[in-house]
């Protein structure tokens, strides 16, 4: 999905991937991250958010929730993170990263609220009155009042499979009196996901109906006398999107793929502030006359992978782009398949650049420091 952008904007990362794999310093099935470029991307996000008067929580799941990389990002000024589930919140907290937002997408279990409260998040997202009661009771027992956001939904909103749920706008008026009366929580805002999605072609976007739902939810809260501090609108949060979010009334964004320059917006030809900082490195395993097979473990069903640079040197690889043939959804990715191509050798490096979610794969993770300079320092985290 991002192969051309990677070659155009960060060819040194491709060169490093091929060189280090051929040296045996990076194993097959490794997501490789250019830490210096991630730092640069984070600074761009901080500067753009400040210009727009917006706040950001950064997301870590896409790069495997790595503690060291999270600290590098926080050091650039993105000081608060969003945790998609309690496991991520724990990892962040243990790494010394402030958890700004938890509960969206995954609601903590009924006995896990004390753990959440001990992390002192800025806000917790709630999907239901039942969860609000649980959190309020836990907070009262600890002598706390926790700020919360309501995930608001309306017929026609768009959600990824398995991610539905929240307070229906049609029922919100009826729920609000009890929500506002719960002594352990303080309603501060609304959220939904995604508020923006990729449009046809590379580099475009469109608003989802969820954005209008957010704004209607905010209006309902304000009519009830709530001081709305957050209109939280994640989905492709990036420097290019922040001014448009601001114009629409969104106050908080949650960059994840923008940190590695891999939102759908970055697949286009436009040179956006964030540069590609991520690649998936693996190796030609064998062939069957129709396909070249690469060692798998790091492919992701929604990656939109299109191909790979293949070769035993960076020079050769950047002249040899081979089309990728996705495995059917639900299939274990023991291997990935590329189009059979003359001249490719078993053991050649294959460098992909696609939209990944490392936390749900079996991929190793390699953090590279000093890409484009020598020597390159590697921090390798082997999985399994």
**pLDDT band with cut points at 50, 70 and 90 for residue 201:** low
Six-digit token string for 19: 């060189």
What spatial distance separates the first Cα and last Cα of the chain, rounded to whole Å?
Answer: 27
pLDDT of residue 268: 83
User: Residue 18: is its pLDDT beyond 90?
Assistant: yes
CA distance 123 to 113: 13
- Measured CA to CA, the distance from residue 293 to residue 228 in angstroms comes to 53
Residues 215, 247: Cα–Cα separation, whole Å: 12
Say if residues 358 and 321 touch (Cβ distance below 8 Å).
Answer: no
The answer to whether residues 104 and 149 touch, using CB atoms and an 8 Å cutoff, is: yes
Bond preceding residue 161 cis, omega within 30 of 0 = no
CB atoms within 10 A of CB 332: 10
CB 362 within 8 A of CB 28: no
pLDDT for 265: 93
Residue entry with tokens 């050798």: 345
pLDDT at 73: 99
Q: Is the pTM of this model over 0.85?
A: yes
What Cα–Cα distance (Å) separates residue 19 from each residue in 25, 98, 219, 309?
9, 37, 56, 13
Q: Is the distance from CB of 111 to CB of 90 less than 8 angstroms?
A: no
> Tokens in use for 338?
């590329």
pLDDT for res 1:
81
The stretch 305-324 carries a mean pLDDT of 97
Spell out the domains of the chain, with CATH numbers in brackets. Answer: 3-34+276-381 (2.40.37.30), 79-254 (3.20.20.10)
Residue 377, pLDDT score: 97
Asked whether the beta carbons of 41 and 274 are under 8 A apart, the reply is: yes
Exposure string (b/e) for 23-61, b if CB count within 10 Å is 16 or more? eeebbbbbbbbbbbbbbbbbebbbebbeebebbbbbbbb
Instruction: Over range 267-284, report the average pLDDT.
Output: 94
Q: 99-157 pLDDT, tens per residue?
A: 999 999 999 999 999 999 999 999 999 999 999 999 999 999 999 999 999 999 999 99
pLDDT at 328: 86
């Amino acid at each position: 999905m991002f192969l051309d952008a990677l070659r155009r904007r960060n060819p040194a990362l491709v060169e490093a991937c091929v060189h280090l794999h051929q040296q045996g310093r990076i194993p097959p099935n490794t997501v490789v991250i250019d830490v210096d470029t991630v730092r640069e991307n984070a600074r761009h996000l901080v500067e753009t958010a400040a210009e727009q008067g917006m706040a950001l929580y950064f997301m870590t799941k896409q790069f495997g929730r790595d503690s060291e990389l999270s600290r590098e990002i926080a050091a650039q000024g993105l000081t608060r993170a969003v945790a998609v589930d309690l496991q991520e919140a724990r990892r962040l907290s243990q790494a010394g990263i402030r958890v700004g937002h938890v509960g969206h997408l995954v609601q903590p279990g009924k006995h896990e609220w004390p753990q959440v409260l001990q992390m002192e998040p800025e806000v917790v997202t709630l999907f239901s009155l039942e969860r609000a009661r649980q959190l309020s009771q836990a907070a009262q027992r600890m002598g706390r009042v926790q700020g919360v956001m309501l995930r608001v939904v309306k017929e026609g909103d768009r959600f990824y499979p398995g991610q539905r749920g929240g307070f229906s706008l049609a029922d919100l008026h009826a729920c609000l009196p009890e929500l506002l009366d719960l002594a352990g929580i303080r309603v501060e805002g609304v959220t939904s996901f995604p508020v923006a999605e990729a449009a046809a072609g590379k580099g475009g976007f469109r608003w989802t109906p969820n954005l209008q739902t957010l704004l209607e939810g905010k209006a309902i809260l304000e009519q009830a006398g709530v001081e709305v501090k957050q209109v939280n609108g994640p989905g492709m949060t990036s420097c290019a999107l922040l001014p448009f979010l601001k114009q629409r009334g969104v106050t908080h964004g949650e960059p994840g793929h923008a940190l590695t320059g891999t939102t759908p917006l970055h697949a286009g030809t436009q040179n956006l502030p964030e540069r590609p900082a991520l690649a998936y490195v693996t190796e030609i395993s064998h062939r069957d006359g129709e396909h070249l097979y690469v060692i798998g473990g790091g492919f992701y069903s929604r990656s939109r992978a299109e191909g790979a640079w293949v070769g035993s040197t960076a020079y050769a690889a950047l002249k040899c782009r081979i089309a990728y043939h996705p495995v059917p959804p639900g299939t274990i990715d023991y291997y990935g398949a590329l189009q059979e191509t003359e001249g490719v050798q078993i053991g050649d490096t294959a460098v992909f650049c696609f939209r990944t979610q490392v936390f749900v794969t079996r991929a190793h993770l390699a953090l590279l420091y000093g890409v484009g300079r020598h020597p390159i320092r590697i921090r390798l985290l082997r999985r399994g």
